[in-house]
Amino acid sequence: MRFKGKVAMITGAASGMGLLSAQKLAGEGASVVLTDVNAEAVSVAAEEIRRNGGEALGIPVDVRNYGQIEHAAAAAMEKYGRIDLLLNVAGGAECRVLNCDKPFHELPLEVIDWGLDVNLKGVVYCCRAVLGTMIKQQSGVIINLGSVTGVEGSAGAVNYSAAKSGIIGLTKALALCGAPHGVRVCCVSPGPVLTRPGMANMKTRLGRAAEPLEVVDLILYLCSEKAAFITGSNYLIDGGRTCGGMD
């Protein structure tokens, strides 16, 4: 029960690694505030955690909307009185999500804007909404989900690469802001993860994609007291992909 008495707010929590993180945190004693743009799915996810004996709230949130983020943070404070952990998991490559398979210089501006708003600005918004609370508490952990694409770049995902690279810089800057107040900030940058079938085709040195739990285990370690001296760092979990030489 590493997280007994802790309160965690998770974005993108209705599916994938966001949902798995919420389930694992609740299973280890945390009260979890699940947020997601899919209102029905996030409500069902929170209800399932409660049925399994956990403590959970499900709140519809579009991370492009600061008012909705602020509302979720306020609901967490009203219900639980604190926010100890923030996991920024919401995101996705805009060309895939919006089904727009075009080179960067031909992308509609609305597709570019969606990608930057969800993958970078949404993370900035969420951090802004909770950092003051954590500073007042003199404790807290923020985990931002990056991507191997933010380290190695991608000609087919220029916008996504830029956003995820920006998250690494955001993590370092916020770590500097939070350090005097006991607030840690880390970035976890996965390579391919089996949250969807297409990821299995992305090459790694280990010859496979990660299981979602492998990434979530790293996230939870960084949230725990065992990582109390870690802040400002980006953690690649990419099966050796960034060692170089991958076709």
pLDDT of the chain, 247 residues: tens digit per residue? 999 999 999 999 999 999 999 999 999 999 999 999 999 999 999 999 999 999 999 999 999 999 999 999 999 999 999 999 999 999 999 999 999 999 999 999 999 999 999 999 999 999 999 999 999 999 999 999 999 999 999 999 999 999 999 999 999 999 999 999 999 999 999 999 998 777 878 889 999 999 999 999 999 999 999 999 999 999 999 999 999 766 6
- The sign one gets for the Cα dihedral 227, 230, 232, 237 is negative
Q: Where are the domains of the chain?
A: 7-243
Nearest-angstrom CA–CA distance, 144 and 91 = 11
Superfamily classification of domain 7-243: NAD(P)-binding Rossmann-like Domain (3.40.50.720)
Q: In what order do the strands lie in the sheet with 7-10?
A: 55-60, 31-36, 7-10, 85-88, 140-145, 183-190, 234-237
Amino acid at 100: C
Active-site pick, 66, 160, 221, 235: 160
Nearest-angstrom CA–CA distance, 165 and 163 = 5
**Interior/surface letters 90-126, b for 16+ CB within 10 angstroms, e for the rest:** bbbbbbeeeebeeebeebeeebbebbbbbbbbbbbbb
State residue 198's pLDDT score. 76
Q: Is 160 a catalytic residue?
A: yes
**C-beta separation of 219 from 28 below 8 A:** no
